[in-house]
Amino acid sequence: MNWYAFAPMADYKEVVHERLYVKAPGTDKLRKSAAGRLHHLLGSGWRETDRWQRGDHVEVRLERSGHVPASARKPRPAPEPTFERRRGPGGRGNFGQGRGRR
């Protein structure tokens, strides 16, 4: 039996750019909500890859890789619903009432 090493499929990589506001312009000290957001992202599997200092905020590039999430997969198309039309006497859909203008 021959064993072959298969190359893994392309990795799924997500990239996010977050704008985290600082306490004072020109500093690196984050606001409390921005620090909490960054802490949450780092704890949930994101890695910080780049950081740019802007005027009143710090722009951070975050990446994570792994399996493709279910929301990113294309769903299978649902089968078309089939309807049976119920026809009345005379073969028309109005059940033979045949009323016109009065």
Q: In this structure, which amino acid lies at residue 4? A: Y
What does the domain layout of the chain look like in residue ranges? 12-66
Helix (H, G, I), strand (E, B) or coil at 88: coil
pLDDT, tens digit (0-9, with 9 covering 90-100), for 50-98: 999 998 999 999 998 877 766 767 778 888 887 776 665 555 555 556 5
**pLDDT digits over 23-41, tens only?**
999 888 999 999 999 999 9
**Closest of 43, 52, 49 to residue 15, by C-alpha:** 49
C-beta separation of 62 from 15 below 8 A: yes
